[in-house]
């Protein structure tokens, strides 16, 4: 394997003007993919539990995660880079004859930023409501605990029918500044998410 790799790279260097064959380009792509795969693996948020509760005419979501920012994200937020987190919820109806039907799909967004003058963290929800918090730990705890989030109209589901519910929490890298979006493609420090928490739900 060492000899063939050496010949491949030597041939590419000795003939820079020679166009690469499709198989050569494929090999090159595989080399980079293998090299970057460990870096691109997502860091994880521990998913604890989730449930749906009926409140009047709506079902609300309670969910628990264990969000802990790594050193890279902590430094970024202190230096003025806001971080966006998204709680994604889905409700599907299994169908044996076709793909599952998505009945409900919605998100809850958080924006976490730091004010260097007041030395406080600001956690905004949905752009309208915000809280100032003295510590990062408290901000992480609030993001980790979803309570009473309205997700389903009672009229959208049928009594006695089995549905599959799922929820997860992730860092939304699409809202980061462009240089950090590029870093998120190759660094696990910028790829933070939980596994989907899935459970059966029957109204």
Instruction: Please state the pTM of the whole predicted model.
Output: 0.75
Provide the pLDDT for residue 171: 95
In our burial notation (b when 16+ CB lie closer than 10 A, e otherwise), range 120-129 reads ebbbbeeeee
Domain spans, the chain: 43-201
pLDDT of residue 200 exceeding 80, the answer is yes
Provide the pLDDT for residue 13: 42
pLDDT of residue 83 exceeding 90, the answer is yes
**Cα angle 48-52-54, degrees, rounded to a multiple of 5:** 150
Provide the Cα torsion 54, 56, 57, 58; round to 10°: -40
The structure tokens listed for 77 are: 């937020």
Mean pLDDT of 123-152: 92
Sorting pLDDT into bands at 50, 70 and 90, what band is 98? confident
Segment holding 12, helix H or strand E? helix 2-14
pLDDT of residue 14 exceeding 60, the answer is no
d(CA 182, CA 82): 16
Provide the pLDDT for residue 111: 95
Average pLDDT, the chain: 82
pLDDT of residue 8 exceeding 50, the answer is no
The structure tokens listed for 174 are: 């699409």
């Amino acid at each position: 394997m060492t000899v063939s790799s050496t010949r491949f790279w030597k041939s590419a260097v000795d003939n820079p003007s020679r166009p690469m064959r499709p198989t050569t380009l494929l090999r090159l792509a595989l080399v980079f993919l293998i090299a970057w795969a460990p870096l691109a693996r997502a860091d994880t948020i521990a998913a604890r539990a989730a449930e749906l509760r009926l409140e009047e005419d709506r079902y609300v979501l309670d969910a628990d995660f264990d969000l802990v920012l790594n050193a890279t994200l902590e430094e970024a937020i202190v230096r003025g880079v806001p971080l966006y987190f998204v709680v994604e919820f889905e409700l599907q109806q299994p169908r044996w004859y076709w793909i599952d039907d998505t009945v409900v799909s919605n998100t809850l967004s958080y924006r976490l930023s730091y004010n260097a003058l007041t030395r406080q963290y600001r956690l905004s929800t949905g752009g309208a409501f915000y809280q100032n918090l003295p510590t990062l730990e408290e901000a992480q705890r609030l993001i980790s605990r979803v309570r009473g989030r309205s997700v389903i109209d009672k009229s959208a589901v049928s009594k006695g029918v089995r549905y599959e519910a799922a929820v997860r929490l992730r860092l939304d890298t699409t809202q980061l500044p462009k240089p950090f979006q590029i870093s998120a493609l190759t660094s696990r420090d910028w790829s933070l998410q939980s596994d989907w928490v899935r459970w059966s739900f029957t109204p």
